[in-house]
Copies of this chain bind each other. A is one copy, B any other.
Amino acid sequence: MLKYSRQRESIKKYLDTHRTHPTAEIVYQNVKQEFPNISLGTVYRNLNLLAERGEILRISPGNGPDHYDADLTPHYHFLCTECGQVLDIDMEHQAQLDDIAMKQFDGIITNHVTQFFGLCPKCNNTKMN
């Protein structure tokens, strides 16, 4: 049975109020201001717990640490190949992809994750100068 904890509430609140797709380390640095003794292990434990319960989303870029997102509406992410920044992509969820993929597939497909790659606005501007 799940018990309340102030630490977990603080972690969840941080994600709810910051849609910047922070890593565990960044969540840790920030929640630390409210709970100076909190440990990175506790942050990981709670991020996993929240992700398992479907209260937050885990974003795994190919390399580097995972990012977390409290925005549960189905949406896609962009990963900047230059600075690593994670941004939301404003486009409709492409649910039909699962159906298309299922056509020639002998198992069951429940969902998909799409990540877009390229240059974020900031890095793109920098390159053009």
A residues within 8 Å of B by Cβ? 58, 60-63, 66, 76, 78, 80-81, 87, 89-92, 94, 97-98, 100-101, 103-124
Q: Please state the number of chain copies in the assembly.
A: 2
Which residues of B lie under 8 Å from residue A119 when comparing CB positions?
Answer: 107-108, 110
List 26 A-B residue pairs with CB atoms under 8 Å apart, sorted by A's residue number. A60-B60, A78-B101, A78-B105, A80-B107, A87-B105, A90-B103, A90-B105, A91-B100, A91-B101, A91-B104, A92-B100, A98-B116, A101-B116, A106-B121, A107-B120, A107-B121, A107-B122, A108-B119, A109-B116, A110-B117, A110-B118, A111-B116, A111-B117, A112-B114, A113-B114, A114-B114
